[in-house]
Copies of this chain bind each other. A is one copy, B any other.
């Protein structure tokens, strides 16, 4: 099979060096070790410490593993909400988080803005009884991102509510101040460039306290993956079930590679590549940046309306070895989505834009 480069915002390209780590994992028999062994505990602890450094996570937080970020939506609502949750909805994924709360029969309140728009904090009123505010830092479906300052201010405005940040398609890019949020989560197949099948939940002990309060009051908070059970196992650097051991091992390796490169450098490069992409889309005929407000434009998932059937361009690019994403849902054939994750180099991005420029003319 020919060489391909993935610029897709779903599962994406593998992080540079991943195949080497995978080879090493096989040599070390990582898929065969017991999840109750000291070997595994060491891997979990290393992963915890590495992510702590990468995200600058202060004391009081645990790092927990699930099968997906979708699972974390469910675990958050079950473990941390008795009656009222509040959701900032501006796309398909924030909407699904809201639906998760509804399916669990919570009073799931929401503020909703049209696709492609972000939130204005000055007019944003959170329902006073809400126990949890759920927001999506980066809406994969619309390419709208919430400035981290706004996230922090939202917590300052609502100090007694738990704040959950979905950073599925932006981690590790956003410079979150973990002193000003209660939890954040992501899955590994996007910014970290790993095979899918692992969700990562960074969660403060305030959330654990809430979960235990609910359990003690007789609420169903879940079983093997309720927050209190996950946390008890985390204290021994274990997991309730046999987890995705290989995925956790690889996450540690990639996070360590990122640390070595420097998170500042990764953010800088991400900004530079994003600037290049947006400038291209602005200048190039046939493309139109979807998110109008520059302050709300994502740096990691860049979306353009196309003045032509986007599937034609996507197909032509694919034939040349460039894989980009289609629009999401009903925008499938009139938008393109390009992931700007840390694993994609400046040179690879330039190659993509060259190809887009060339192929655009032949549609």
Contact = CB atoms under 8 A, between A and B. Distances in A.
Given A71-B241, A198-B197, A189 B13 contact: no
A4 B33 CA distance: 11
B14 A34 contact: no
A67 interface: yes
Nearest to A99: B223
Nearest to A14: B31
Interface string A278-293: 0000000000000000
Contacts of A247: 197
A79 interface: no
A105 B220 contact: yes
Contacts of A195: 30-31, 244-246
Interface stretch (A21-29, A110-118, A122-130): A21-29
Interface string A1-18: 100101010111110000
A222 interface: yes
B22 A8 contact: no
A46 interface: no
Copies of this chain assembled into the complex:
2
Contact of A35 (B11, B33, B245): B11
Contacts of A187: 242
Interface centre among A28, A66, A68, A187 (most CB of B within 10 A): A68
A222 B31 contact: no
Interface in A206-243: 220, 222-226, 240-243
A104 interface: yes
A197 B104 contact: no
A197 to B, nearest CB: 3
Contacts of A222: 74, 103
A100 interface: yes
Contacts of A224: 70-71, 73-74, 96, 100
Interface string A57-100: 00000000011111101100000000000000000000010011
Contacts of A246: 195-197
Interface string A306-340: 00000000000000000101000000000000000
Nearest to A247: B197
8 contacts: A10-B34, A10-B242, A34-B325, A70-B240, A74-B222, A100-B223, A104-B220, A195-B244
Given A100-B223, A100-B224, A197-B198, 17 more contacts: A1-B28, A4-B29, A10-B36, A11-B34, A13-B32, A34-B325, A35-B196, A67-B241, A67-B244, A71-B241, A74-B224, A103-B220, A105-B220, A187-B242, A196-B244, A197-B197, A197-B243
Ranked nearest first, the 3 interchain pairs of A and B with the lowest CB-CB distance are A67-B67, A197-B244, A70-B241
